[in-house]
Amino acid sequence: MSETAAAKKKGAVNEESKRSFLSIVLGGLTLLVLALIYFALGQGDMEGIMIPQKQSYYVNVNGEVTPDADLSEFTFLDLHAGDLLIYSTKLQGHVNTPMIRVFLAHSTARVFLEDELIYEYGEPHQHMFGYGYITVPLPSDYEGKTLTVAQTVQENGEIRKIRIPSVCDADRYNDGILGSKRLQLIVDCAVILLSATVIIVGFMSLRRNPEVRNLIWMSIAFIGIGLWDFGIDNLIELFGRNQLALKGYIEYLSLYIAPLFFTMYFADDFYYHYKGKNRMWFPVMISVDVAFPIIAIFLHFTDIIHIPKILVGGHVIIVVTLFYILAMTIVRVIRKEAIHKEMLIGTIALVVVSMVDFARYLYYKFVNVQASDFESIVLIGLYVFALSVIIDYFNTQQRTMLAEARNEALEKLAYEDIMTGVYNRQKINELEQQIVKEPRPFGIVNFDLNDLKKANDRYGHTEGDRLITDFASLLQSVFGKAGVVARMGGDEFIVVYPDLAAVDHEKLMGRLEEECERINRDRDGVRISYAGGFAGVSQEELEQMRKQGDDEIGRVFREMYKRADQKMYENKALVKAKASEG
């Protein structure tokens, strides 16, 4: 390998090291900041901040009245779009800065205090209503007054119970949320921020290391899952209250889009580098993952069917995607086509946890509707999966680096002239085949080093060897960027221009002469002297050769070599003649 190539490789390694160091620093700082936030938030819960209104309620469902309902036990059949649900009670308990916290699910709502409208949510024409808690300020003399909530259902089958409203202290509400849900907040922020860090560092390294795109795909998927968890844990209300529609869009769309990027992570393993019959399923899965959110958005904004109503379809696609990834990973491990045992463990963990989480979701939605808010555990599986991805990625990188090192060592043995460090005859033979396959105007310069016998006879073979290596270094410094420099044997060298159109040969020869004179001024022993000859093929000649086939191009390459050699000997004779005259 040439000194220039080695320098480039060293620079690339140094640059990669800088990026790796940067990612470690950014990751460490992110974890440090999150840890500081975690401890700064402190322990806490909603006790003393939120007073659940557990007393009896007056409930009216489409005119059917229940005068003394206990909301903790009260359920009804699925409500449909347009149904009217009204419930009221006298408020109890005291807080300093009162507000009422009410849960809404895909409905418009009006909130009254003593028959006076104090808040209204949603417009019948809007596309997304969302679900979650709204908070409404109350006057300081709210105790004993009647609160009435009137909800008009906008989506079929989304309401099966009424969640108990609570009176909250507005000044301390966010502190209570931060204290009671600080772990979820820290985890979600860590997922989003660390994933964003990986994406930024990944794009910085993408040109040099294309394989990092897989981590970018996975990081985008993790950001989607982090945003989804932000939604289901109602953490979005920390950044803006009563934004149920925004919460809904973030939660549903992030969940619908995430499977696409999970699948894209496996593009190399399941498609580009995979030759089995199951390869055809990858574009099918990608098509489904791409089509589903697009169709969902189209159906939503045309009011054919809104995004929340196809949630089960989203769950089915996630399940199918995870089982596809699991099945393909198992197949590849069994066939020993790739070492992905770490990925297998992570995928199994993610599939199992996702299945359990999906079953829990269906249970809370359709069976135990009186249970408290559903809290997803899918992040547990995601963290195991993320860890397996990281381990698998770095193991793969290590194997790749070792393979590249072996290939580099083999290439060095096969193509490098051990004495001079430039390429050898074998490299020129390979370059000839490359020019035959991808024909372009090319040129050949043959060099012969003068006075080698004089150096050997007068100063010994050590001086002769130094003369050869110094001349090789000179050629590499002048022609290395424009072509391939090689030693053909003894004192004979060659420079091949693979793209003659991009080279100014006369300028390079002039530079070679100048550099040779500069070196000789400070050189002890025999001065560097050489003879050279050039031959090249123009674009017009190349077009004629293409018509005659690859054999003709190969024949012309060898002919150009002979012609350059002949000119070199003619030049050598002139050099000797001038030396004799001098």
Is the pLDDT reported for residue 159 higher than 80? yes
User: What would the pLDDT profile of 378-398 be if each residue is shown by its tens digit?
Assistant: 667 766 777 777 777 677 767
pLDDT of residue 581: 63
User: What would the pLDDT profile of 330-376 be if each residue is shown by its tens digit?
Assistant: 777 777 665 556 767 777 777 788 778 777 776 766 665 444 455 66
pLDDT of residue 371: 46
Compute the average pLDDT of residues 191-220.
84
Q: Model confidence at 478, in pLDDT bands (50, 70, 90)?
A: very high
Q: What is the CATH number of domain 425-581?
A: 3.30.70.270
Question: Torsion angle of alpha carbons 334, 338, 343, 344, nearest 10°?
Answer: 0
Helices (H), 480-538: 505-521
Residue partners of 442: CB distance under 8 A and separation at least 6: 435, 496, 497, 498, 499, 500, 536, 537, 557, 560
3-state helix, strand, coil in the chain (%, to 5): 60, 15, 25
Compute the average pLDDT of residues 97-105.
94
If you search the block for the tokens 């000997």, which residue do you land on? 569
Higher-scoring residue by pLDDT: 262, 57: 57
Which CATH architecture is the domain 177-408 placed in? Up-down Bundle (1.20)
Percent of the chain, pLDDT > 90? 31
**CB burial class (10 A; 0-12, 13-18, 19+) of residue 68?**
exposed
User: What would the pLDDT profile of 313-337 be if each residue is shown by its tens digit?
Assistant: 888 888 888 888 888 877 777 776 6
User: Which residues of the chain form CATH 1.20.1070?
Assistant: 177-408
Is the pLDDT reported for residue 18 higher than 70? no
124 neighbors 277 (Cβ within 8 angstroms)? no
Is the pLDDT reported for residue 144 higher than 80? yes
User: Which residues of the chain form CATH 3.30.70.270?
Assistant: 425-581
User: What would the pLDDT profile of 273-316 be if each residue is shown by its tens digit?
Assistant: 777 778 888 999 999 999 999 999 999 999 899 898 888 788 88
Q: Model confidence at 152, in pLDDT bands (50, 70, 90)?
A: very high
Structure tokens at 36: 């500081």
Compute the average pLDDT of residues 174-197.
80
pLDDT of residue 59: 94
pLDDT of residue 504: 92
Is the pLDDT reported for residue 9 higher than 70? no
Q: How far apart are CA 56 and CA 35, in angstroms?
A: 43
Helix (H, G, I), strand (E, B), or coil: what is residue 132? strand
User: Which pTM was predicted?
Assistant: 0.61
177 neighbors 238 (Cβ within 8 angstroms)? yes
Range in 120-134, 255-269, 318-332 the model is least confident about: 318-332
User: What would the pLDDT profile of 400-423 be if each residue is shown by its tens digit?
Assistant: 777 777 777 777 777 888 899 899
Q: How far apart are CA 178 and CA 115, in angstroms?
A: 34
Task: Name the residue among 531, 470, 537 with its Cα closest to residue 499.
Answer: 537
- A 10 A CB-CB count for 70 gives 13
Is the pLDDT reported for residue 562 higher than 60? yes
554 neighbors 432 (Cβ within 8 angstroms)? yes
Range in 39-43, 60-64, 165-169, 178-182 the model is least confident about: 39-43
Task: Name the residue among 166, 164, 171, 135 with its Cα closest to residue 243.
Answer: 135
Q: Which CATH number fits domain 50-173: 3.40.50.11890, 2.60.120.260, 1.10.3720.10, 3.30.300.30?
A: 2.60.120.260
Range in 52-61, 108-117, 194-203 the model is least confident about: 194-203
User: Which residues of the chain form CATH 2.60.120.260?
Assistant: 50-173
Higher-scoring residue by pLDDT: 21, 414: 414
Q: Model confidence at 10, in pLDDT bands (50, 70, 90)?
A: very low
pLDDT of residue 53: 93
Q: Within 13 A of 43's CA, how many CA atoms are on the CB side?
A: 0
Q: Model confidence at 33, in pLDDT bands (50, 70, 90)?
A: low
Structure tokens at 365: 């939605």
